[in-house]
Structure 1
Amino acid sequence: MMGSRRAGAAGASPAAATAIKTTIAALAGALGLSLAMLGTVSMRVARKVVTPAGRVPDTRLLAVDVAAQTVTLSRTDDTQLPGRYGLFTTGTAAYLKLGAVLSLDAASVKRKLLTEISVDDRLSAEAAFSGWYYTTPEELHLPFRAELVGSPLGPCPAWFFPAETAADEPSDTWVIQVHGRGTTRAEALRAVPVFHAAGISSLLVSYRNDGEAPRSRSGTYMLGATEWRDVDAAIGAARRRGAQRVFIMGWSMGGAIALQLALGSAHRDLIAGIILESPAIDWRVVLDHQAQLLRIPGPVATTAVRALDSGWGSRLVGLSTPIPFDTLDVVARAAELRHPILILHSDDDGFVPADASYELAEARPDLVELEVFQVARHTKLWNYDPDRWTRVIRDWVDRQRAGADS
């Protein structure tokens, strides 16, 4: 009896034991397959974060009225915005300037067309709504010249808009404009007039892997961790050409680059202040928000970020080195900041949440001024309310210059 009890306690019959082992093996296999799928999907997500990509269509061109000079677009959070914008398409008119919303319904938005087109123009249905508005420097009707800025990877194309002082002398105050992820320096053309009117010369720069500047060995974004060195070279060039003070203005990922300059530039003594438009201040916050928008499962998003920040993962994704998210988290490094900062951000950004902007302003109220917009979407604050946007920047710049001169 005792032996019988021991046998029963120790295990089931041979057939039952075999069944249990088969079940465990199947579960282990399924778990392994699930983990493999998680890893595969996570790597795809991680690779997408750092791979430069072209412009992605985000609306449809539903109708064009040549006689009335209007266009009708599918309705989105962006296409229904008040203000002036642009529309990238393909065909004989590759870029259209758009004006006021004339009417809208649940599915479509009719806007005034500010670019004249004819019946001979052919436009694709797929289109991308843009806050650029200007696409070439000639459209500003201001003196400029194309230049090359020597960087660690080679010459980076730039546009220089010289300004003069009240005494008709070349300005010794510059602003260097840093565009965002997936765009080019044309993004910052909107900002040139406000600085030119203030007697500040503008340098609109490119940086590695943006499609204009040299390509790095990996050809990937580093979210500001290496790109800032190309912009730092532009500050050095400004110094050699007589600049006594330099403002840095960064758009979206350009904001992350500007903040890395403020923390690590060899020319920090020349930096008069930082202006951030819809900035990426903490990439973990940004990527988590993007994952939620795209309905990417939490474990996939978490694994993707860990991969980018690790040696094994970064190699699989194609990076030369891991992305140092702790270094790029300027909220955590707020105590290291030394320059005045103006942040312009919308609560309705829709792409880069304003959370980190609020946190940085709270962490360093002695240095950071936060101007909060509503309704306006990501990097479209100028488009939505150009008067307020211009006034805020002009007044802040004037205060910084007055403080430096006193």
Structure 2
Amino acid sequence: MAAKRNGPDPLRILGLAAVAVSALSVTLVVGGGVLAAVMARAVVTPPKRQIDDIRVLAYDRAAGTVTLQATPDSVLVGLYGFWFSGDAGHARLGEILSRDGQTVTRVVEAVDFGDLDRATAGRWSGWFYLGPWALGVDYENVLIPAAVGLAPAWLIPAEADSAGDNWVIQVHGRGVRRQETLRAVPAFRQAGYTSLLVSYRNDGDAPASADGKYGLGDTEWEDVEAALEFARNRGAKRVVLMGWSMGGAIALQTLARARHRELIAGIVLDSPAIDWADVVAFQGRLLNLPAVVAQGAMTVMGHRWGRAVTGQAVPIAFARLDVVARADDLDVPILLMHSDDDGYVPSTGSRALAAARPDIVTFVPFSEARHTKLWNHDPTPWNAAITSWLARLARQNA
């Protein structure tokens, strides 16, 4: 008969530990997989509503000022839009008059609509203008025959003394609409460019795709190709594509894949999504998620089996969207502007592209303008960068 051991059996302890570790591993894998699936679905799903995340503390109609909760956006110097009361109102805000650690008081340039007196919260926006009418220019409402149906656009002619054969097609970013791109119209118009501000599938203006999901540029480029065809039929001989945020990815895919890419003379990018792996990883870090979750989300979006989770009709070909890896394929001048404090799309992808192709990429860095708000923070250097780049492009094409 074996002697009885004093104390716990070490083999039993190891066995129990192995079971516990195995259970924990399964929990982490399953939990990480669920989080990756949730993140993937969120990335490709157009937001249905925006969140009012800045408290309105006081509005002085007589003085023309508003006091807001201090946030990284609300304390930025410059000119901004402010949606309030669940998008029931919009105001244009300007100069900062005072601020402390908790509040900021700004000049109210105008209340476009809504009752700011009754507002308790709102959200920050780069949309300073709500339509071409705010710029005081002639414009035409047009419909682009895109693959998903007729997509509305604004057509703003160049100044009267221009030939009219230079066009810019403006492509807005994720979760916003063509109003985002109005800020660029004056600089292009003064340089003799006709501006076409387009919509694309699932943005709330253009028809939805069958699956109702974003392709992160892998599908939306077809709608910009339709806009390129529209411009060609209206007399455009040279077209500059300008993309903002995800619109940058769309513009670059249009350059790579459009039938009439010979029309594209150059590309301007504001806060572009150059490297989606970098963007998704950055968003994961903001949410304090393990790196494996973002990696898993990319895997889900990039494989056909992921459609059961995301609802995408087709997987996203991320290798095709990796512009840095395919930098040698680029063959037109590019103006690239990005702020290092972007807070949504990191500037690392833009810097990598600029380093990969310094022969064609003009990189203009900003330091504290946040995401797609470079014009808002300081219009002067932003406009000057576009104006001087267009002048160089004209000389190259002469």
TM-score (norm 1): 0.91
After TM superposition, give the deviation of residue 28 of structure 1 in Å: 3.9
SS at structure 1 position matched to 2:174: coil
The one-character-per-residue Cα deviations of 1:335-374 (angstroms, maximum 9, x if unpaired) are 0001110001111212111111111111111110001112
Q: Which moved more, 1:18-27 or 1:335-344?
A: 18-27
SS of the residue 1:142 aligns to = coil
Question: Please, which of 246, 254, 262 is the counterpart of residue 255 of structure 2?
Answer: 262
Q: Structure 1 residues 80, 236: closer, same or farther in 2, change over 3 A?
A: same
Which residue pairs with 2:32 in the alignment? 38
- TM-score normalised per structure 2: 0.93
Matched ranges for 1:63-82 at <5 A: 63-82=58-77
Q: Residue 58 in 1 paired to residue 64 in 2?
A: no
**Cα offset for 1:217?**
1.5
Partner of residue 205, structure 2: 212
Out of 35, 41, 44, the residue aligned to residue 47 of structure 1 is 41
For 1:336 and 1:120, how far apart are their aligned partners in 2?
A: 51
Matched residues, number: 393
Give yes or no for contact 1:83–1:383 (8 Å, CA) kept in 2: yes
CA distance in 1, matches of 2:257, 2:88: 43
1:91 touches 1:122 (CA, 8 Å); kept in 2? no
Structure 2 gaps, min length 5: 3-8
User: Comparing 152-161 with 20-29, which one deviates more in the overlay?
Assistant: 20-29
Contact 2:86 2:122 in 1 (8 A): no
The structure number with the bigger radius of gyration is 1
> 1:201-350 residue pairs with structure 2 within 5 A?
201-350=194-343
- Name the counterpart of 2:154: 159
Q: Structure 2 matches for 1:378-393, cutoff 5 A? A: 378-393=371-386
Query: Contact 1:66 / 1:119 at 8 angstroms: preserved in 2?
Result: no
Instruction: Report which stretch shifted further, 298-307 or 364-373.
Output: 298-307
Aligned-pair CA distance for 1:164: 4.3
State the shift of 1:39 in Å.
1.5
Q: Classify the secondary structure of the residue corresponding to 1:295.
A: coil
Contact 1:91–1:121 (CA under 8 A) maintained in structure 2: no
How far, CA to CA, are the matches of 2:378 and 2:384 in structure 1?
10
Kept in 1: contact 2:170–2:195 (CA 8 A): yes
Tell me how far apart the structure 2 counterparts of residues 226 and 365 of structure 1 sit (CA, whole Å): 28
Tell me if the contact between 2:89 and 2:113 (Cα under 8 Å) persists in the aligned partners.
no
Q: Give, in angstroms, the shift of residue 212 of structure 1.
A: 0.9
In the aligned structure 2, how far is the partner of 1:67 from the partner of 1:372? 39
Decide whether aligned partners of structure 1 residues 230 and 65 sit closer, same or farther in structure 2, where only a CA change above 3 A counts: same
Alpha-carbon distance in 2 for matches of 1:337, 1:287: 24
Distance in 2 separating the partners of 1:119 and 1:52: 25
Secondary structure, in 3 states, of the residue corresponding to 2:392? helix
Question: Which residue of structure 2 aligns with residue 10 of structure 1?
Answer: none
User: How well do the aligned residues superpose, as a CA RMSD in angstroms?
Assistant: 2.5
Gaps of 5+ in 1: 5-14
Contact 1:285 / 1:356 at 8 angstroms: preserved in 2? yes
Larger deviation, residues 113-122 vs 46-55: 113-122
Q: 1:83 to 1:337 in 2, by over 3 A?
A: same
Is the contact made by 1:89 and 1:123 (CA closer than 8 Å) also made in structure 2?
A: no
Candidates 182, 185, 189, aligned match of 2:175: 182
Shift of 1:129: 0.5
Q: CA deviation at 1:124?
A: 2.9
Following TM superposition, by how much is the alpha carbon of 1:194 offset from its aligned partner in structure 2, in angstroms?
1.0
Residue 209 of structure 1, CA deviation: 0.6
Letter in 1 for 2:328: A
Q: Is the 8 A contact 2:132 2:182 kept in 1?
A: yes
Partner SS state of residue 119, structure 2: coil
Take 1:228 and 1:118, find their aligned partners in 2: how far apart are those partners?
34
**Is the partner of 1:304 in helix, strand or coil?**
helix
- Alignment of 1:125 with 2:117, yes or no, is no
In the alignment, residue 253 of structure 1 is paired with which amino acid? M
Distance 1:116 1:257, change over 3 A: closer
Secondary structure of the residue aligned to 1:156 is strand
Between the aligned partners of 2:104 and 2:341, the Cα distance in structure 1 is: 19
Alignment of 1:337-376 (within 5 A): 337-376=330-369
**CA positional deviation for 1:154:** 0.7
Counting aligned pairs with the same residue, the percent is: 47
